[in-house]
């Protein structure tokens, strides 16, 4: 039996996470279900970027590298992300993009496995992950192969040819979640190293990198962490891999003593060896401020509420729109916090939804995606979004030429 409007209003009235919504600067009249792609602006980030612009850059000028602590921001932001992903202090830094961080850790991991040639990943992993691995294999020119197998066959594909298992915990298209602990253990038993991409995990639900014994991880600052468009990403290196790793992008800020301007490269003796060049301070400040919200957030409660939002959304649609096929696993542990639905005309349906103030997104060729982000999405929001989607489906309101025009970014 689907939830009634009164049922969901009652859930909102007693929701312990409701107080976090006020930390966000959401536009009126929008139900935002795309925080899995771009988290919304926080009030803290808005204040902080203004202050960084006016006081730190405007008046402090170059002195602010020291006086405002700009130089240590990557480590400071990394320290805020670490507890969200089960990482020990000093094992995470905020730097570069997810793609570039993946390149660095994959290069480090492959260098530790000189006898092996296979990079194993899931078929249907996010394209940048597969492209980066392919590009690195080409660059190394030592016969590395990127082997892509379906999720269900990953474990059996872990043989003694596999150098590195490179996986994204939550699949961006369907929202299915891999079992990090089990797959990491299997990979290690086969003698492989493991890299996890946490783009759709960090800030969405509890992650336990240390508990799973992962070797490396990367993740995104602008999705569930709400750092803003193009926010710095993060990288994790397990303490069992000695600090001072020689990742291949020998930038001066990864050097032990950047301001010695020494002739030769010596990596820093810490996670900061993963740094390359000058950090984007405005973006870094926005991410640092956005992470304040997480200081007293219980991610288990976030996942529990996301699961309830999932139930509200999917039960309404199952009753009213049987033609929308649910792609996301119904088992709670087998998914992250997004919902994906399949429909042949998904693109115009999403445009019609956006025109009515419900923002989700579309993925090729026929997928509607909705991010369920409990810090600012209420039970009533997903109830209304499902109702609006159902009305669009029932009336075929999506079937109009203007909704079929494809934009550059979808
Ligand atoms: C969003 C996402 C990325 C993004 O990479 P960028 O370098 O920030 O563009 C990478 N991997 C996965 C799995 C993602 O979902």
Give the model confidence (pLDDT) of 122-147 as tens digits: 999 999 999 999 999 999 999 999 99
Catalytically active residues, by annotation: 126, 197, 222-223, 369
Detail the DSSP E strand segments found in 169-245: 193-197, 216-219, 234-237
Query: H or E element: which one contains 69?
Result: none
Residue 11 has pLDDT above 70, yes or no: yes
Beta bridge partners of 361: 369
Residue 172 has pLDDT above 80, yes or no: yes
pLDDT for the residue numbered 191? 98
What number is the average pLDDT over the span 99-108? Answer: 98
pLDDT for the residue numbered 140? 98
Over the stretch 76-92, which tens digit does the pLDDT of each residue have? Answer: 999 999 999 999 999 99
The rounded distance, in Å, linking the Cα atoms of 329 and 40 is 26
173 CA from centroid of ligand 1 (Å): 12
Over the stretch 378-410, which tens digit does the pLDDT of each residue have? Answer: 999 999 999 999 999 999 999 999 999 999 998
Q: Which atom of ligand 1 is least distant from the CA of 97?
A: 7
224 CA from centroid of ligand 1 (Å): 12
Residue 1 has pLDDT above 70, yes or no: no
Percent of the chain having pLDDT more than 90?
98
The CATH classification number of 5-17+298-404 equals 3.90.1150.10
Contact 150, 121 (CB under 8 A): no
Reference 375, options 281, 318, 296; nearest CA is: 296
The domain ranges of the chain are 5-17+298-404, 49-295
Q: What does the mean pLDDT of the chain come to? A: 97
**Fold exhibited by the domain 49-295:** 3.40.640
Over the stretch 185-220, which tens digit does the pLDDT of each residue have? Answer: 999 999 999 999 999 999 999 999 999 999 999 999
What number is the average pLDDT over the span 149-162? Answer: 98
What number is the average pLDDT over the span 48-68? Answer: 98
Name the residue with tokens 């803003």: 228
pLDDT for the residue numbered 2? 77
Provide residues with CB under 6 Å of ligand 1: 97-99, 126, 128-129, 168, 172, 197, 199-200, 220, 233
Q: Which of 126, 135, 176, 177 has most ligand 1 atoms within 8 Å of CB, for mutation?
A: 126
Q: Which of 98, 130, 233, 280 has most ligand 1 atoms within 8 Å of CB, for mutation?
A: 98
What number is the average pLDDT over the span 28-57? Answer: 98
pLDDT for the residue numbered 242? 81
Contact 375, 203 (CB under 8 A): no
Q: Whose CA is nearest to atom 4 of ligand 1?
A: 98
């Amino acid at each position: 039996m689907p939830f009634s409007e009164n049922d969901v209003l009652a859930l909102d009235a007693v929701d312990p996470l409701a107080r976090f919504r006020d930390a966000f600067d959401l536009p009126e009249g929008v139900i935002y279900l795309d925080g899995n792609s771009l988290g919304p602006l926080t009030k803290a980030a808005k204040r902080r970027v203004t202050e960084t612009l006016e006081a730190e850059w405007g008046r402090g000028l170059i002195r602010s590298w020291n006086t405002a602590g700009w130089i240590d921001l990557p480590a400071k932001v990394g320290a805020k992300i670490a507890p969200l992903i089960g990482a020990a202090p000093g094992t995470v830094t905020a730097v570069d993009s997810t793609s570039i961080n993946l390149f660095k850790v994959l290069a480090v991991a492959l260098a530790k496995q000189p006898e092996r040639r296979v990079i194993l990943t899931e078929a249907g992993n996010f394209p940048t992950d597969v492209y980066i691995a392919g590009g690195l294999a080409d660059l190394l020119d030592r016969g590395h192969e990127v082997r892509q197998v379906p999720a269900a066959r990953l474990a059996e594909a872990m043989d003694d040819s596999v150098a590195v298992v490179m996986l994204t915990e939550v699949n961006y298209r369907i929202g299915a979640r891999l079992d990090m602990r089990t797959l990491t253990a299997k990979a290690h038993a086969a003698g492989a190293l493991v890299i996890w991409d946490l783009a759709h995990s960090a800030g969405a639900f509890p992650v336990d990198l240390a508990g799973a014994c992962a070797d490396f991880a990367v993740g995104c600052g602008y999705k569930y962490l709400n750092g803003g468009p193009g926010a710095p990403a993060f990288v994790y290196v397990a303490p069992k891999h000695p600090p001072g790793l020689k990742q291949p992008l020998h930038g001066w800020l990864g050097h032990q003593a950047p301001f010695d301007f020494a002739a030769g490269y010596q990596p820093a003796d810490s996670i900061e060896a993963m740094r390359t060049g000058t950090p984007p301070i405005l973006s870094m400040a926005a991410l640092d401020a956005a992470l304040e919200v997480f200081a007293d957030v219980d991610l288990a409660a976030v996942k529990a509420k996301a699961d309830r939002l999932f139930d509200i959304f999917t039960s309404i649609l199952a009753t009213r729109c049987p033609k929308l096929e649910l792609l996301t696993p119904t088992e709670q542990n087998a998914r992250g916090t997004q919902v994906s639905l399949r429909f042949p005309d998904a693109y115009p349906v999403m445009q019609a939804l956006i025109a009515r103030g419900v923002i989700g997104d579309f993925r090729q060729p026929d997928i509607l995606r909705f991010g369920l982000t409990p810090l600012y999405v209420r039970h009533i929001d997903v109830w209304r979004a499902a109702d609006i989607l159902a009305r669009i489906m029932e009336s075929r309101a999506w079937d109009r030429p203007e909704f079929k025009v494809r934009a550059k970014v979808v």
